[in-house]
Amino acid sequence: MRMILVGPPGAGKGTQAVHLVERFKISHISTGDMLRAAVSEGTELGKQADSYMKAGGLVPDDLVIAMVIERIGKPDCTKGFMLDGFPRTRPQAEALDVELQKAGVALDVVLQIEVPDDLIVARITGRRLDPDTGDIYHIKFKPPPKDIAGQVIQRKDDTEEACRARLEKYHSETAPIIPFYAAQGTLKRVDGNAAPDEVSRRIEQVLG
């Protein structure tokens, strides 16, 4: 199974990624982890990426894509892989498609988890962090125990303003990749408005 996982922030991609990687015994490729691994291994591409990061710049798309192609060529990806967090824009998706074709690699599915913006805002703004343990709670779905309710905090990234800014960025930059993959016939949509186990069941149905 060779797939790309797409969805807005707060849609539950992290939870479903864990399930899918285990279900299909495939490698989970997060671009952030991939970049860090290439830098630590001292690969030629890693050295190039490191020079950009040390200068405080973004790693160019063509370099990231080259690293993706290098990564999926490793032995642990022979049974498949999941790309998580890339591509983030339509130009990235188009460029990645060209390089995958050159490498003779065909995607099986681009899985989109759909959740309405207002529900995502409710999910994210309701999250609370226990600064002592790092445990995450939710004021509606998983309230903190009474003895620590007074010490949990809301992270800066979990405010409504921050959440809506991330959603706006997703809709303007990442959502345009959806019609690109839909036109190729690889896109599968799943309603993510449910408990994690139910969303996993829906994904299983969609993927067959």
pLDDT in tens, 166-189: 999 999 999 999 999 999 999 999
Q: What is the full DSSP assignment across 83-125? A: EES---SHHHHHHHHHHHHHTT----EEEEEE--HHHHHHHHH
- 36 occurs within a structural domain: no
- 31 occurs within a structural domain: no
- 68 occurs within a structural domain: no
Pick the catalytic residue from 88, 164, 169, 188: 88
DSSP state of 187: E
**Tens digit of each residue's pLDDT (9 = 90 or more) over 5-52:** 999 999 999 899 999 999 999 999 998 888 888 888 888 998 999 998
| Catalytic residue flag (residue 142) | no
| Catalytic residue flag (residue 166) | yes
Distance CA 66, CA 52 (A): 15
State the total domains in the chain.
Answer: 1
The number of residues making up the chain comes to 208
**Tens digit of each residue's pLDDT (9 = 90 or more) over 101-111:** 999 999 999 99
- Rg of the chain in Å (alpha carbons): 18
Pick the catalytic residue from 47, 74, 142, 155: 155
- 85 occurs within a structural domain: yes
- 9 occurs within a structural domain: yes
- Looking up residue 93, the CATH number of its domain turns out to be 3.40.50.300
Closest CA to 181 of 100, 123, 75, 62: 100
Query: What residues make up the domain containing 201?
Result: 2-26+79-115+174-207
Distance CA 23, CA 80 (A): 12
pTM: 0.87
The pLDDT of residue 160 is above 90: yes
- 38 occurs within a structural domain: no
| Catalytic residue flag (residue 88) | yes
Token reading at 87: 């591509």
- 109 occurs within a structural domain: yes
